[in-house]
Each structure stands twice: as structure tokens, then as C-alpha cells.
């Protein structure tokens, strides 16, 4: 038997999602893992914290958005997994610095919403992370400076290949997932 959140849906999350309306829903595929439905919400989730597996941030620089490029394509939400004992906002600040070099002040982060990923295929019994549902919180922040020359920055872990500063008006012309772009509109 699975414990809630690890192989079976968590009842608190099901109750929460039944009360919310997503602003976008998209089906994606995580290569080699599973197909997922991704729903974007602007609400702050009130659910078990262990279901929040990572924290992301939409980074603004002088009126432009940081667009990261990975082997999977461009995205506007640098971020990653939380370290033990780390707050959500501290995770966002650390991950943005590691992946882009842009520096954020934790006090300036504003909550933007969250992504709910629902895995559609079963995972192995010993899969170490919550499933079939995971949440990624998304913040937004204005970066004030870069830790180096941003045009020559490289991700400390190597996943982010590069990043660009793109005016918001130009984002719809890029192959950025709609579920991410939905957090930019009012």
C-alpha cells in the first residue's frame, strides 16, 4: 500500500484542487519518466509541504524577463529542489543565483502562483520523490545585479546552457510552455 503522496494521491491536495480553478492546463512529457498534466494556479497552496518539491522564480531585469535555455528548450522559471530546512524564498534566491547568476533579495520576492504536476503513468515503488502529484511554487522578483558578466555566465550544475533577457512582449513568439507564460498575464 502507498502512503498518501507517494504512489497515491494525497487527500488534502485533492480537496484543495477541487476548490481552485487553473489559469492554464497543459500535457507534457518528461523524457524517460512519464507523461504529466500541468495545471497553473495563482493561488497559494494550503497542503502538505512535502508535496512542494521545488521552487521557481520569474526574474525581471530592467523590464525584461530572464529566459533560460536547456536541452529541453527555453523556459522562464529558473529554480530547483529545496535543501533540508530551507525556506521557499531562500530556495528561489539560491537556485536563481546557481542557474543564472542573477542576484535577488529574498525580501523582494512576490508569490506568483504554483504549478501542479500530475504524473499519468505509475512510477516504481521505490521512486524517491512524491508522486503522482507534485507542486512547484513560483515567485517573481526584480534582479538588481549579476554576480559576473551575465552574457558569459554558466550554470554551476551545467543544465542551463545560457540565458537571455527578453522583453515580455517578445515572449509569445518563443517556444516557452503556455503554462509558464500564464503567470505573466494579469
Element (H, E) at 91: helix 88-100
Q: What is the reported pLDDT for 168?
A: 93
Instruction: Give the SS3 label for residue 22.
Output: coil
Task: Please indicate, yes or no, if residue 113 is contained in any of the structural domains.
Answer: yes
Q: Which three cell numbers stand for residue 73?
A: 528548450
Note the pLDDT tens digit of each residue in 119-165: 887 766 776 666 788 899 999 999 988 877 656 666 666 667 788 99
Predicted confidence at residue 134, as pLDDT, reads 86
Ramachandran class of 7: left when φ > 0, alpha when ψ lies in -120 to 50, beta otherwise: left
Nearest CA to 91 out of 102, 78, 81 is that of: 81
Q: Report the CATH number that the domain containing residue 141 is assigned in CATH.
A: 3.90.79.10
Tell whether 107 is covered by a domain.
Answer: yes
| Residue ranges making up the domain that contains 37 | 3-181
The pLDDT-based confidence of 90 (bands split at 50, 70, 90) is very high
Cell (9 digits) for 116:
501542479
Tallying the residues shown for the chain, one arrives at 186
Backbone torsions φ then ψ of 4, nearest 5 degrees = -55, 130
Q: How many domains does the chain fold into?
A: 1
Q: Which residue has the higher pLDDT, 186 or 178?
A: 178
Is 186 part of any domain?
no
pLDDT at site 19:
94
Domain assignment of residue 91, yes or no: yes
Return mean pLDDT, the chain: 87
If one counts every other C-beta atom within 10 angstroms of the C-beta of residue 166, the result is: 18
Q: Which of 19-33, 47-61, 120-134 has the lowest mean pLDDT?
A: 120-134
* Max Cα-Cα span within the chain: 52
Amino acid at each position: 500500500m502507498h502512503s498518501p503522496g507517494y504512489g497515491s494521491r494525497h487527500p488534502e491536495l485533492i480537496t484543495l484542487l477541487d476548490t481552485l480553478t487553473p489559469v492554464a492546463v497543459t500535457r507534457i512529457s518528461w523524457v524517460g519518466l512519464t507523461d504529466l498534466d500541468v495545471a497553473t494556479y495563482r493561488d497559494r497552496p494550503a497542503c502538505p509541504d512535502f508535496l512542494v518539491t521545488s521552487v521557481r522564480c520569474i526574474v525581471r531585469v530592467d523590464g525584461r524577463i530572464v529566459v533560460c535555455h536547456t536541452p529541453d528548450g527555453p523556459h522562464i522559471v529558473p529554480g530547483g529542489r529545496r535543501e533540508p530546512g530551507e525556506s521557499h524564498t531562500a530556495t528561489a534566491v539560491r537556485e536563481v543565483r546557481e542557474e543564472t547568476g542573477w542576484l535577488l533579495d529574498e525580501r523582494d520576492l512576490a508569490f506568483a502562483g504554483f504549478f501542479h504536476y500530475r504524473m499519468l503513468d505509475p512510477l516504481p515503488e521505490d521512486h524517491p520523490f512524491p508522486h503522482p502529484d507534485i507542486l512547484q511554487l513560483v515567485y517573481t522578483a526584480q534582479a538588481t545585479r549579476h554576480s559576473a558578466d551575465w552574457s558569459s555566465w554558466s550554470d554551476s550544475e551545467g543544465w542551463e546552457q545560457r540565458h537571455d533577457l527578453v522583453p515580455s512582449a517578445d515572449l509569445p513568439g518563443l517556444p516557452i510552455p503556455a503554462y509558464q507564460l500564464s503567470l505573466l498575464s494579469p
